[in-house]
């Protein structure tokens, strides 16, 4: 079995998967299938999805406790960059359900024993690096534009941000650079994690395939990115509680999007 796994990994790494052209109807179908997967196993998926709102609340608490409130928005926004990595258990659940296998919660963690787990970790580290780079850029922009004292109050920070010229420059510049980070993270991860789980390809092959999928479907992938952003924003509105549903549905939908895009 070890030799067979090694052979499969070698083949997967050597052959570049082909991508299809899809339409917005495929996006709707992927989202619907993601919802169906969520309904099929809602209990343990809700438990898994609690990671997101709980982590968000902890991040908010840390920024207040350590007087780094200016990093709250970059932290919450950048946290979404790690979403594709955190959803690997959801991809495995959808894969097993698609094949008619047992998709209970105990099998969701079997992805940790996948032959491609090393490549998954490498890709996760790449996204983590992007996340940290984004935080560094956000902090540099803040210090350059506002540079308020470390003990600045929340009210003073918000006043300086929304009522001064430098504050609006920080908002525009920060969101513009954040958009570039989001596009990069989206392009390299939109189908790469499901591809590694499904075919055990190496990380560079998965990233190239993901970028190729975006290049082959620029308009549709833009719509998908906007859909993901919209659902995450809606999930964040009721004190992040909506993420308990939004994140697993998007995770499952990403698997079905992968199946539609990659031949």
Position 13 scores a pLDDT of 47
105 class by beta-carbon count within 10 Å (0-12 exposed, 13-18 middle, 19+ buried): middle
User: Rounded to an integer, what distance in angstroms lies between the CA atom of residue 68 and that of residue 152?
Assistant: 9
Phi, psi of 262 (to 5 degrees): -90, 130
Report residue 150's pLDDT band, with 50, 70 and 90 as the boundaries.
low
Distance between CA atoms of residues 23 and 36, nearest Å: 20
Q: Of the given ranges (152-161, 177-186, 216-225), which has the lowest mean pLDDT? A: 152-161
CA angle (222 as vertex; 162, 33 as ends), nearest 5? 115
Residue 163, SS3 per DSSP: helix
Cβ distance 94 to 256 under 8 Å?
A: yes
For the chain, percent of residues with pLDDT exceeding 70:
78
Q: For 19, phi and psi rounded to 5 degrees?
A: -120, 155
The count of other CB atoms within 10 Å of the CB of residue 217 is 23
Residue 78: its pLDDT value, please? 77
- pLDDT tops 50 at residue 15: yes
Task: Record the pTM.
Answer: 0.82
> Which tens digit of pLDDT belongs to each residue from 54-95?
665 666 666 555 556 677 778 777 777 888 888 888 898 888
In this predicted structure, the answer to whether residue 181 has a pLDDT above a threshold of 90 is yes
Residue 177: closest CA among 85, 59, 77, 84: 77
Closest CA to 225 of 9, 233, 45: 233
Predicted confidence (pLDDT) per residue in 119-131, tens digit: 999 999 999 999 9
pLDDT at 3 (0 to 100):
42
Residue 59, CB-side half-sphere exposure with 13 Å CA sphere: 20
Query: If you average pLDDT over residues 126-137, what whole number do you get?
Result: 92
The answer to whether residues 91 and 99 touch, using CB atoms and an 8 Å cutoff, is no
Q: Is the Cβ–Cβ distance between 111 and 88 less than 8 Å? A: yes
Q: Which tokens in the block code for residue 225?
A: 């990115």
pLDDT higher than 90, residue 23: yes
Residue length, the chain? 263
pLDDT value at position 115? 87
State pLDDT tens for residues 221-253. Answer: 999 999 998 888 887 776 566 677 788 889 899
Angle of helix 51-65 relative to helix 243-261, nearest 10 degrees, comes to 120
Model confidence at 32: pLDDT above 90: yes
CA dist 34 and 31 (Å) reads 5
Task: Give mean pLDDT, residues 9-32.
Answer: 81
What percentage of the chain has pLDDT greater than the value 90? Answer: 44
Least confident of 13-17, 112-116, 222-226, 244-248: 13-17
Beta carbons of 255 and 91 less than 8 angstroms apart = yes
Q: Which run of H or of E encompasses 173?
A: helix 165-189
Query: With contact defined as beta carbons under 8 Å apart, do 116 and 195 qualify?
Result: no
């Amino acid at each position: 079995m070890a030799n067979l796994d090694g052979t499969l990994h070698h083949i997967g790494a050597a052959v570049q998967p082909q991508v299809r052209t899809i339409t917005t109807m495929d996006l709707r179908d992927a989202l619907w299938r993601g919802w169906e997967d969520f309904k099929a196993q809602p209990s343990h998926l809700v438990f898994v999805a609690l990671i997101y709102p709980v982590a968000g609340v902890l991040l908010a608490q840390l920024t207040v406790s350590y007087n780094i409130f200016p990093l709250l928005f970059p932290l919450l926004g950048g946290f979404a960059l790690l979403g594709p990595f955190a959803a690997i258990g959801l991809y495995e659940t959808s894969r097993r359900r698609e094949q008619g296998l047992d998709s209970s919660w105990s099998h969701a963690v079997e992805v940790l024993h996948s032959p491609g787990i090393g490549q998954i970790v490498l890709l996760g580290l790449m996204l983590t690096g992007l996340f940290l780079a984004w935080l560094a850029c956000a902090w540099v922009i803040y210090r350059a534009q506002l540079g308020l004292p470390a003990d600045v109050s929340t009210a003073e920070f918000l006043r300086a941000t929304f009522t001064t010229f430098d504050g609006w420059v920080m908002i525009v510049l920060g969101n513009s650079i954040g958009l570039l980070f989001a596009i990069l993270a989206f392009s390299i991860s939109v189908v790469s994690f499901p591809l590694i789980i499904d075919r055990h390809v190496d990380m560079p092959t998965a990233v190239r395939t993901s970028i190729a999928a975006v290049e082959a479907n620029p308009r549709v992938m833009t719509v998908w990115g906007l859909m993901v952003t919209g659902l995450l924003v809606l999930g964040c509105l009721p004190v992040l509680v909506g993420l308990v549903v939004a994140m697993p549905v998007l995770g499952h939908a990403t698997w079905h999007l992968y199946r539609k895009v990659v031949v």
